[in-house]
Amino acid sequence: MSEYTESMGYTLIPYGLKDGQLVHIDDVERGDKCGCICPNCNGLLRANKGKKKVHYFSHQNKENCVGAYESAVHLLAKEVFRKHKTLSLPEFELNIEYIKDEEIRNLMQINNTKTILNIPQQNDIKYKDVQTEKFIENTNIKPDATAIDENGSILYVEFLKTNAVEEDKKLKLLDLNVNCIEINLNYFYFSQTKEEDESKMLECLNDTECHKWISHYYSKESIIKDLENKQKEIEEKKKFEAWKRKEILRLQKEKTIENENRRRKRLQKLKENYAPPKDRDKNYDEINSMRKQIMECYKNNDKQQVLNCLIKISEYSKQHPCFQFLALGENINGRNISIISIYNEYKLELEQYPDVINEFENWKKLI
């Protein structure tokens, strides 16, 4: 059997206390002479070290001690942490549930902000000093471990095995504005040797999946400054959006006015170039004939003749106004076709005739 599981019974533990130190059953004498006491109730232990069953401690004077297994796990966690002084910290997001300060909470609500600080995961942090069962200064709170890093920053650690940190204690830690994490050891079980147990416990200390922040230090002044700056950014953004909407309306209005001016200029140009029907000369019949010809060629899909007609019309239009003919549409296969629409369709074919293209483009601006 490779592990001491709780299904084997809470009294089957491989650790006891001897002279105040946590000792493994393989390191003590067999039987009542082991000189060990229970890590939970301080009752005398017996070292059961037979040849057939896994070695374990049991109580000499009673059958069961429910907290023995949990206490042994806690003591091993503290010992390993104190010995190796290494720990990994999970990612932290400072959100509104951690904030008790009303001024900060109000600013967060005004900004519609739930998270104001994000600290990435930190792996294998080496601490300068680790102490266990030490009261936080000027309080009655005693975390399982207190770690101090090279910069003097303090981290408090609580080890969870069966029972999580009490809600009242959590609230006090939040009020103190200190760094404190909870490490879940519910999936930790003892192995056959102390070396294996230390190795597994060290893995737990650096497995951030088992860690949870209870509280995290934050600078009130820094947070308020950040929130105020964010509020200013929001206000500036609102001002910019209002200005942008106003500017768009202004440009749309200017464009409307510009289009109206262009329309008036175009009408004036038309009046200058067109004479009433009764004053039109023989050119009317000629351009009308060209229009009918290009329409017929277009209907017959005679590409070359269409191109020839476009060239001819462009030459003619240099000397004579053609507005009414260029834009005049005719229904062909359900589509309204004009000379201009035919030009648009054949424009690529006219690339070798830049003068033709230029002439039609000038007419398009006036139509």
Length of the chain: 367
d(C-alpha 150, C-alpha 127), whole Å = 7
d(CA 52, CA 319): 119
The one-letter amino acid at 134: K
> So what's the pLDDT on residue 110?
65
Express each pLDDT in 34-88 by its tens digit.
999 999 989 999 999 888 888 889 888 876 788 888 899 999 999 999 999 999 9
Q: Which two tokens stand for residue 137?
A: 């200064």
At 175, the pLDDT band (50, 70, 90 cuts) reads confident
Sign of the Cα torsion 126, 131, 135, 141 reads positive
pTM: 0.56
Given a contact cutoff of 8 angstroms between Cβ atoms, the answer to whether 356 and 309 are in contact is no
Over residues 231-279, the pLDDT tens digits come to 777 778 778 778 777 877 776 677 677 666 766 666 555 545 544 444 4
Q: Which residues does residue 363 pair with via DSSP β-bridges, in sequence order? A: none
What is the per-residue pLDDT across 207-240, written as a single tens digit (0 to 9) for each? 988 898 888 776 566 666 777 777 777 778 778 7
What is the maximal distance between C-alpha atoms in the chain?
A: 135
* HEC sequence for the chain: CCCECHHHCCCCECEEEECCEEEEHHHCCCEHHHCCECCCCCCEEEEECCCCCCCEEEECCCCCCCCHHHHHHHHHHHHHHHHHCEEEECCEEEEHHHCCCHHHHHHHHHCCCCEEEEECCEEEEECCEEEECCCCCCCCCCCCEEEECCCCCEEEEEEEECECCCHHHHHHHHHHCCEEEEEECCCCCECCCHHHHHHHHHHHHCCHHHEEEEECCCCHHHHHHHHHHHHHHHHHHHHHHHHHHHHHHHHHHHHHHHHHHHHHHHHHHHHHHCCCHHHCCCHHHHHHHHHHHHHHHHHCCCHHHHHHHHHHHHHHHCCCCCHHHHCCCEEECCEEECHHHHHHHHHHHHCCCHHHHHHHHHHHHHC
Average pLDDT of the chain, as a whole number: 80
Tell me which residue has tokens 């060209």. Answer: 290
Cα(13)–Cα(33) distance, integer angstroms:
17
